[in-house]
Chain A
């Protein structure tokens, strides 16, 4: 069973259980948190796997683009997917729950990390999740959901609405 690094208070947690396990790597987040992870779980990230194969994964691997909170999430995901007994059905269920609780901001962070660490399955699922907030939704809805601020001038906005009337038709109602 691979280690789980829960870090709700943002404190540095280096699990000691893992000390005796030789098959472990330490991943270091941008804000200096260290996480231990089994090699088999870490290997699900193509980027880390390449580093291990090139033999430059000795000691601590710094991941300057991933913050601690995000890394903890990614590691939870990797651990589940590297778990020996987990069936595909289990994993699918886990993925569903794993992503469904995430806020938009967190999804974006995880997408960035998934791409950076080259974890295809995770990246794919997160993108799919983000897209769900756009499918058949109005322009205003998308702006609100993702807190995107329109930087079109009022005239431009008006012109767009006139020329692309279809984009405002047939979408789901904005009412919650």
Chain B
């Protein structure tokens, strides 16, 4: 994994003990009789970092405030993040440890060059931005392979203008999607602006 000025693979994260999640079932509600979360208002979740089952008092954190969002089961958190544009989802990684890898376990991976960093880049910076974008996608896939290789992806979408630089990555990206039983694979080329 190469270093770049803009996106650097998070090397200190790589040193963590093996991150592992149980294979996630396809999105569906747990059966009603299966009371996985306890009735006393505590949730169980598997720590992304240690792989240990942790129990968290519903919403209670050290400061006494209520962090209900982090208390939700992984599968819901991941589903929530799948609604975000890629850079916003990625940004949540820096919120707390609980969210560190949540973004790369999502059931859909969608990248759109035009939404990269929230808006299209200034005209003169397209080239630079495009390279960053390609690197960003590559890195996201690297993370996914490293930490959640066994999770399937339902939707995988890359949307960008076709440029020479992307051709070496294309095969890799498509293979990635196919290996993970992606049900919907879409690669859109949009016209030059």
A interface, CB within 8 angstroms of B: 30, 46-48, 51, 61, 63-65, 104-105, 108-109, 111-112, 115-118, 123, 127-128, 130-131, 134-137, 139, 142-143, 146-152, 156, 159-160, 163-164, 166-167, 169-171
Contact = CB atoms under 8 A, between A and B. Distances in A.
B175 interface: no
A167 B67 contact: no
B70 A146 contact: yes
B95 interface: yes
B28 A118 contact: yes
Contact of B94 (A47, A111, A134, A160): A160
B118 A149 contact: no
B91 A139 contact: yes
Contacts of A127: 79-80, 83
Contacts of B12: 156, 159
Interface residues of B, number: 48
Given A104-B68, A105-B68, A130-B69, A149 B76 contact: no
A135 to B, nearest CB: 5
Contacts of A48: 32
Contacts of A163: 8, 10
B67 A149 contact: yes
A146 B63 CA distance: 13
A112 B80 CA distance: 11
Contacts of B83: 127-128, 131
Given A65-B37, A131-B80, A148-B69, 4 more contacts: A30-B39, A64-B35, A123-B79, A169-B117
